[in-house]
Amino acid sequence: MVVAIGTALWSGWYAQRTASRRELLNWRRSELLKATSELAQLSLHRQAVLEAALDGMIPPGIGPPVDPFNTAATGGPHPRHSVDQMLVIVERIELLDSTLAEVARRLAEAHRQAMINADVEYADSGNALSHCDAMVVDRDDLKSLHTELTQSFRRAVALER
């Protein structure tokens, strides 16, 4: 009788522990997916806004003029604020997975460094085209960073080994 009660208590404790662990893992995966998706979306949006602005600046103007700093026209955050938001998201990812955060940090840093370089070289020149062009992250580098982010995310949530 005592053995049966002990076994039942142990089984209940073990089932509860397993369920709690599973819930925690599912929550972690969900939060990593949310944060990683937000980071990728901000990165791609920032790049697209700057490229659209460039298309409107280059004579004869491939597209309509777009002010990359007019958030109402671009439907998203100011390119500078995008970088700030990316860095906040990286910190959220860091709380959940440090390896994924390293890759996320490199992506955010590429955008931040492009912005800093553009400001250092062109902010006072009055050349809006060169300034905007310098703020754009190299397409191949960006594609590589996004691929690396995806692979690192999959490893973090055990979709890929």
Provide the pLDDT for residue 137: 95
pLDDT of residue 131: 79
Domain range 25-156, CATH architecture: Up-down Bundle (1.20)
What's the whole-number average pLDDT of the chain? 84
pLDDT of residue 83: 93
Q: What integer pLDDT is reported at residue 40 of this predicted model?
A: 97
pLDDT in tens, 26-84: 999 999 999 999 999 999 999 988 888 787 776 655 555 656 666 666 666 778 889 99
**Residue 17: predicted pLDDT:** 66
What is this structure's pTM?
0.78
Question: Nearest to residue 36, comparing CAs of 121, 108, 123?
Answer: 108
The top-scoring range by mean pLDDT among 95-99, 116-120, 127-131 is 95-99
